[in-house]
Amino acid sequence: MSTPTLTLYTAPTPNGHKVSIALEALKELYPDSGLSYDFKKLDFSKLEQKEPWYLQINPNGRIPAVTHHRPDGSHFNVFETAAILLYLVQRWDPERKISFEIGSDEESEALQWIFFSHGGVGPMQGQANHFYRYAPEKIPYGINRYITETKRLYSVLEARLTQGEGRDYLVGSGKGKYSIADINVWPWVKGWAWSGIDNLDDFPNLAKWLDRIANSPGVQAGLNIPETRPAVSELTKEQQEEQARKASEWILRGNGVNQTK
């Protein structure tokens, strides 16, 4: 077997799914490009993301990361989700099907929304997940603080999608164009129910955007990397609590929290 173009180090999380969705989109949009990848699922319960071999790839000890296996036999590692997405489209999206011309206003807009997600939605919704699902002690202030902030960030996305006569995507003229700006935030917003948000009634255009992106190139295939998992809506309350309990064990251990008394 030939060596794949890339190796993706990942797990079934929003950040992991951003990269697998982008890779699957590029494969679908450019079937003759020769782009290929394999993946390695990191087992968080064993803290594989903190092992020395992986820290050589991603010194931050998080997922995702990719290794680019180059034709000359060398390799290059990329970590941080937004950096990976930009690396992918700069090399494998020559017709700018999910990105924009370098130096254009649209590219700047895309970067703004990528950084908005990277610095806002991901961290804040991640904290909402932690305090609502995983924290060993339920602290109402923490839960309310991060759920409220996540909703505020959703309102920013909602306003963007409401502009003009309504936008289909975050960046691009008119209705916009499906791009890495959408891919970079969609997996987080998709998990709104897991974060303790009751409904999306206050965000009707965001809800439509979620459905629209779900049917975009690469999305469903990317969600199955590294494994298929049921949606929150498919789980009973008891199953959700059990899933959160198991995740909480490795999350707290990874944070150096001693759960023994």
**DSSP class per residue in 111-157:** HHHHHHIIIIIHHHHHHHHIIIII-SS--HHHHHHHHHHHHHHHHHH
**Are 112 and 216 found together in one domain?**
yes
* pLDDT band, residue 255 (cuts 50/70/90): low
Model confidence pTM above 0.85: yes
Give the rounded percent of residues in the chain with a pLDDT score beyond 90: 84
81 found inside a domain: yes
From the number of C-beta atoms within 10 Å of its C-beta (0-12, 13-18, 19+), residue 215 rates as exposed
**Are 129 and 189 found together in one domain?**
yes
257 found inside a domain: no
**Are 118 and 211 found together in one domain?**
yes
Q: Are strands 6-10 and 37-41 parallel, antiparallel or unpaired?
A: parallel
**Are 16 and 116 found together in one domain?**
no
Cα–Cα distance for residue pair 89/45, rounded to 1 Å: 32
Q: For residue 210, what is the domain's CATH number?
A: 1.20.1050.10
Q: Given this model, what pLDDT does residue 260 score?
A: 36
The structure tokens 């450019």 sit at: 30
**Are 86 and 121 found together in one domain?**
no
Q: Given this model, what pLDDT does residue 253 score?
A: 66
Checking if the pLDDT of 1 tops 70, the result is no
**∠ at Cα 205 (202, 211), nearest 5°?**
115
Residue 101 in tokens: 């011309």
Last residue of a domain, one of 66, 92, 118: 92
233 found inside a domain: no
Checking if the pLDDT of 149 tops 90, the result is yes
44 found inside a domain: yes
**∠ at Cα 74 (70, 77), nearest 5°?**
80
Average pLDDT, the chain: 94
**Are 27 and 59 found together in one domain?**
yes
* pLDDT band, residue 256 (cuts 50/70/90): low
**Are 203 and 116 found together in one domain?**
yes
Domain of residue 127: give its range.
105-223
The strand pairing partners of 75, in sequence order, are 69
258 found inside a domain: no
pLDDT digits (tens, 9 = 90+) for 201-252: 999 999 999 999 999 999 999 999 999 888 888 888 888 888 888 878 767 7
Mean pLDDT over residues 63-86, rounded?
Answer: 97
For 172, phi and psi rounded to 5 degrees?
115, 155
Q: Given this model, what pLDDT does residue 203 score?
A: 98
pLDDT digits (tens, 9 = 90+) for 9-28: 999 999 999 999 999 999 99
14 found inside a domain: yes
Q: Given this model, what pLDDT does residue 259 score?
A: 42
Altogether, the residues listed in the chain come to a count of 261
**Are 113 and 64 found together in one domain?**
no
Q: Given this model, what pLDDT does residue 249 score?
A: 76
**Are 77 and 116 found together in one domain?**
no
Q: How many domains is the chain partitioned into structurally?
A: 2
Mean pLDDT over residues 138-166, rounded?
Answer: 97
pLDDT digits (tens, 9 = 90+) for 109-129: 999 999 999 999 999 999 999
**Are 134 and 75 found together in one domain?**
no
Q: Given this model, what pLDDT does residue 31 score?
A: 97
**Are 156 and 68 found together in one domain?**
no
Cα–Cα distance for residue pair 134/130, rounded to 1 Å: 5
Name the more confident of 130 and 242: 130
**Are 159 and 59 found together in one domain?**
no
Q: Given this model, what pLDDT does residue 208 score?
A: 98
